[in-house]
Structure formats: structure tokens, C-alpha cells
Structure 1
Amino acid sequence: MFSTLEVVTTVVVGLMVGVEFSVAFIMNRMLDALPEDSGQLGHAHGGRMLGALMPFWYIGSLVLIAIWAVAGWHRDGAGLVATATGLLMLSVVMSILLLVPINNRNRTWTPENRPADWKEQLSRWNRYHYLRVAVIVAAFTLLVTALV
């Protein structure tokens, strides 16, 4: 049963990392390359879609990894899992304090109502997102290391 928890948690966190990595290094570059207002509209739509899904994914991942950390405290790799739990907690705090406020504004923007500094706000969101991706990649790496 514990092995199932380890595998499910690692897969759930790994998929989340993959999505966030893709947003940072693939999707945003694709959207930014679109002509005229298409990129901004794509960012807004992505903000609505992922903004609805990712809170559940982040919190679900955090719950799974916390259960692993508690249930496996006596096992090898427990310190790695505990550290990964702390990193995922940090990513949730970063999301709430830094990324969500920008995303909540961005997802309502259209070419008619977007603020003059919309590009700067998206750039700030991207910088915070790169940092969050680094944090969750580190957490995922610790989880995988704990498995081996």
C-alpha cells in the first residue's frame, strides 16, 4: 500500500511539474509569437483554464506528499520527502501571494480593457512562474531520489 502511495504521489507531482514546465518554456513562447492581440487573448484564456485547475492539483499534490512524509517518517528517504513537502508548501504560498493576483487580473483582459502595463504584468508573472517551476522541479527531484 505504501508503494502505491509513493508511485501515485510521484506521478501526480511529476505531471504537475510537466504542465508547469510546458507553460513556462513552450506555451508562453508560442502565445507570445502569435500576431496582434491573439497572444494576449491566449494568455487570458490559459489563465482562466489553468487558474481553475491548478489550485486543486497543487493542493492535491501537497496532501499526497504530506501523507507520504508522515506515513514514511521511519523509512529511508524520509528527510528528502519532508524537504519536498516544504518546497511544495513554498510553491503554494508563492502562487497565492505572487502569481494568483496577476493571473486573476490577466484572465479578465481583452484588447479593449487591458491596462497599459499588461505586458509588464505578464512579464512579472513569468519571472515568478520560472521561480515556482524551479521550486517544484526541486521537490519532484527529491521525491524521485527518495524512491531510489
Structure 2
Amino acid sequence: MLSALEVITTVVVGLMVGVEFSVAFIMKRILDALPEESSQLGHAHGGRMLGAVMPVWYIASVALAAAWAVAGRHHAGTGLVVTAAGLLILTVAMSVLVLVPINNRSKTWTSENRPEDWKEQKNRWERWHYARVALLIGAFTLLAAALV
């Protein structure tokens, strides 16, 4: 049972890292290459789409890592899993405190109602997102290391 939990947790977190890495380093470049109005609308649509899915994914990742830490508390690598869970909790806190409020504003913007500083807000979100991706990569790495 513990082995299944370890694999499921690692796969779920790994897929989330892949999605967030894609947002940061692939989708950003694609959307930023579009004309300004299309770019902003693409960012808004992405915010609505991923904003509906990612909260569940983040909470599930934290719950799975916590379950692994508890179930495997007497096994080698538990410290790595606990640290990974801590990093995942930190990403949730960053999301709730900084990234989600910006996303909630930007996902409603159109060319008619976007604020003057929409690019600055987008850039702020992106900077925080890069930090979140780094933490997610760290958490995934720790989980993968705990498997061996």
C-alpha cells in the first residue's frame, strides 16, 4: 500500500510540476508573441481554465505528501517527504496570498476593462510563479529521492 501511495504522490506532483513549468516557460512565450489584445485575452483564458483545476491539484498534492509522510514515518526518506510536503504547503500559501488575487483580477479583463497597469500585474504574477515553480521542482526532487 505504501509503495502505491509513493508512486501516486510522485506522479501527481510530477505532472503538476510539468504543467506549471509549461505555463512559465512555454505558454508565456507563446502568449507574449501574440498581438497585445490577443496576448492579454489568452492570459485571461488561461487564468480561468487553470484557476479552476489547480487548487484541487495543489491540495491533493499536499494531502498525498502528508499521507505518505505519516504512512512511511518509520521508513528511510521520511525527512525528505516531510520537507517536500512543507515546500508544497509553501506553494499553496504563495498561491493564496499573492498569485490567486492577481489571477482573480486578470481572468476578468478584456481589452475594454483592463487596468492601465495590467502588464505590471502580469509581470508580478510571473515573477512569483517562477519562484513557485522552483519550489515545486524542489518538492518533486525530494519525493523522487525519497523513493530510492
Pick the TM interval, shorter chain. over 0.9
Aligned equivalents of 1:29, 1:68: Cα separation in 2: 36
Gapped regions of structure 1 (runs ≥ 5): none
Question: Where does structure 1 differ by over 4 angstroms across 4 or more consecutive aligned residues?
Answer: none
Q: Could you say what secondary structure the match of 1:37 adopts?
A: helix
Deviations 1:44-80 (A, max 9, x none): 0000000000000000111001000111011000000
Question: Where does residue 103 of structure 1 map in the other structure?
Answer: 103
Residue 87 in structure 1 maps to residue 91 in structure 2: no
Identity, % of aligned positions: 73
Residue 60 in structure 1 maps to residue 60 in structure 2: yes
Normalising by the residue count of structure 1, what TM-score does the alignment of the two structures yield?
Answer: 0.99
1:36 CA drift (Å): 3.4
1:32 CA drift (Å): 0.5
Question: Where does residue 128 of structure 2 map in the other structure?
Answer: 128
Normalising by the residue count of structure 2, what TM-score does the alignment of the two structures yield?
Answer: 0.99
The letter for the 2-side match of 1:127 is: R
1:27 CA drift (Å): 0.2
Alignment root-mean-square deviation, CA: 0.5
Residue 15 in structure 1 maps to residue 10 in structure 2: no
The letter for the 2-side match of 1:76 is: A
The letter for the 1-side match of 2:105 is: R
Question: Where does residue 40 of structure 2 map in the other structure?
Answer: 40
Q: How many residues align?
A: 148
Q: Could you say what secondary structure the match of 1:110 adopts?
A: coil
- Alignment of structure 1 residues 21-32 onto 2, 5 Å: 21-32=21-32
The letter for the 2-side match of 1:66 is: A
Aligned equivalents of 1:133, 1:98: Cα separation in 2: 14
Aligned equivalents of 1:115, 1:100: Cα separation in 2: 17
Question: Where does residue 116 of structure 2 map in the other structure?
Answer: 116
1:29 CA drift (Å): 1.0
Aligned equivalents of 2:36, 2:138: Cα separation in 1: 36
